Structure 1
Amino acid sequence: MQSKDLQNIVLSKYQNGDTPTKIFRDLNGGIGLRTIKRWCQMILQSGSITLSSPPGCPRLARTKGNIRKVKNRLRRKKRVSARKLSMKLDISERSVRRILKNDLGLHPYKKVVEPLLSDDQKIKRKKFASWIRTNFRKEETMRILFSDEKFFDIDGVYNSQNDRVWTIDRADADKNGGIKHKRKFPQKVVVWLGACSKGVTPLVILNEGIVNHAVYIEKVLPDALKYGNQVFGSDWVFQQDGAKSHSHHLTQQWCRDNFPSFIGKGRWLPNSPDLNHLDYSIWDELVNIINWNKVQSKTTLIQQIKSSF
């Protein structure tokens, strides 16, 4: 609560007949009893609370001029660096952050990464949503087996934004894991996985790192069919994205001949990771569980994928 608001409360209560002690208790220690008594004396003498100067030390950094400069900078450019602002205004970075948070009431938010959808893709999403609503009841969507493939390589992953090494200087950081080495052509494998309301399928690891329609039909689709029949019986739907191995005419024919139902070629939307559980969260969970320090070769990579899964 601002000092002016407190003054108005004290003025109102004292004019209504409350004693300084009662006002102090009503404010629950929000302001000292000695100050309340001094303010009441002012009210008694002049009918108002008149302070010769604002309470506390004068502001040297969070002045009205600096607050206005920060506000104008935000109007011109949404991305603002507190460090650069502090250098430009010749005040501390801490003061800049206080201006942003306390004086302007702002909060910092990280950018959310989303797929960039073209107008054509937006139209396809709308058509897909209409098709789903027309052809699937809610209980039927619970019988969809979603599927996806993902590349894993022996270099692993790291978060450039949040992974930090705390040391006294850059040289010490480099000695203690501050450098992430990336090979030009790292060894990699392809992992296929299915997920549905009943759980997840067994992993299918394709050691060759290449998935064409022949490999997909031979090594992936039979596992998907076996799992779907086990958990759903003869009434379920198989989903796959529009990868070339999936949309190949022989793959489509195999799906028509074997699956009770499947989402056919051209129906599933491109660039839509938010619609598949695997893209949305499961792959990320698996990646973060793997102990990448133990991954030195393709063999150890496969071992870690299996044990983490």
Structure 2
Amino acid sequence: MNGSTQSEISKNLKNEKINRLFIYRTIKRYIDTKSVEDKPRSGRPATVRTRALREKLRSKIRRNPRRSIRKMAREYPVNRETLRKMIHEDLGLKSLKRQTVHHLTPTLRIKRLERCKRLLWRLINEDSEQILFSDEKIFTVDEATNRQNDRMIVSPCKDIPESIKFIDRVQRPLSVMVWAGVSADSRTKLIFVPQGVKINSQTYKESLFLSL
């Protein structure tokens, strides 16, 4: 293509799907440096995220996917942020936060499946407005604390009252149970269950429903 203009070169390479801007920059680089090679770039070369390191990282994660990024960063000549990018961007992996769920035995699984089928049948064949979904939740009343980030900036420590400086820990913290229900078009008021009362069919009939 010696002697051809930029437009002519672009047309000739149209089938190759080469960007016109790339052609322009290549021509300009050749005019300026008599070469089409990239100019030397300032800064540290990107040699850390190598293919060999990616494969080592992939193999280590396969052996133990629960290993933390911080611990793995200590074993390789890279910082934690670079390792995080390699895992997420280069390997296409994501960090999964494990969730706590209710343990279901084989018997409980069968029971839950039967109840779900029965509930679906009722929703299809009966008036859904007559169905009340309810649940109860226990809330801890005592002050919660996290030693990792529950701090105060003070000076000096000896002048701080003990009521602020210390948090009492008890074997059984104070708690309160709250019950509520929802239906297709409304909801119940919050009912505070007295201490020591267990929620069962008898409690529902004698106490909770009478309080609505």
CA gap of 1:122–1:54, structure 2 versus 1, over 3 A, is farther
Shift in Å, 1:183 = 2.4
Contact 1:143 1:196 in 2 (8 A): yes
Equivalent of 1:59 in 46, 54, 78: 46
What is the rounded CA distance, in whole Å, between the counterparts of 2:151 and 2:83 in structure 1?
A: 25
Please give the secondary structure, in 2, of the residue aligned with 1:189.
Answer: strand
Conserved? CA contact 2:87–2:94, under 8 Å:
yes
Higher relative contact order (CA 8 A, sep 6+): 1
Distance change (3 Å), C-alpha of 1:79 and 1:147: same
Residue of 204, 207, 212 corresponding to 1:219 = 207
Which of 190, 196, 200 does residue 203 from structure 1 map onto? 190
Structure 1 runs (4+) deviating above 6 angstroms are 52-56
- Between the aligned partners of 2:20 and 2:139, the Cα distance in structure 1 is 68
The change in CA–CA distance for 1:130 and 1:188 in structure 2 (over 3 A counts) is closer
Identity %: 25
Give the 3 Å change call, closer, same or farther, for CA 107–152 of structure 1 in structure 2. Answer: closer
Q: What does residue 104 of structure 2 align with?
A: 117
- The answer to whether the aligner puts 1:16 opposite 2:13 as a matched pair is yes
Structure 2 letter corresponding to 1:122? R
CA contact (8 A) 2:133 2:183 kept: yes
Superposed displacement of residue 114, structure 1: 2.7
**2:141 corresponding residue in structure 1:** 154
Give unpaired runs (5+ residues) of structure 2: 1-8
Which deviations, in whole Å up to 9, do the C-alpha atoms of 1:142-189 show, x marking residues without a partner? 43112223323322567x7xx955889xxx9xx9x9x97642122333
The offset of 1:93, in angstroms, is: 0.9
What is the one-letter code of the residue matched to 1:197? Answer: A
* Alpha-carbon RMSD: 4.3
Distance 1:65 1:206, change over 3 A: same
Tell me the TM-score normalised to structure 1 length.
Answer: 0.48
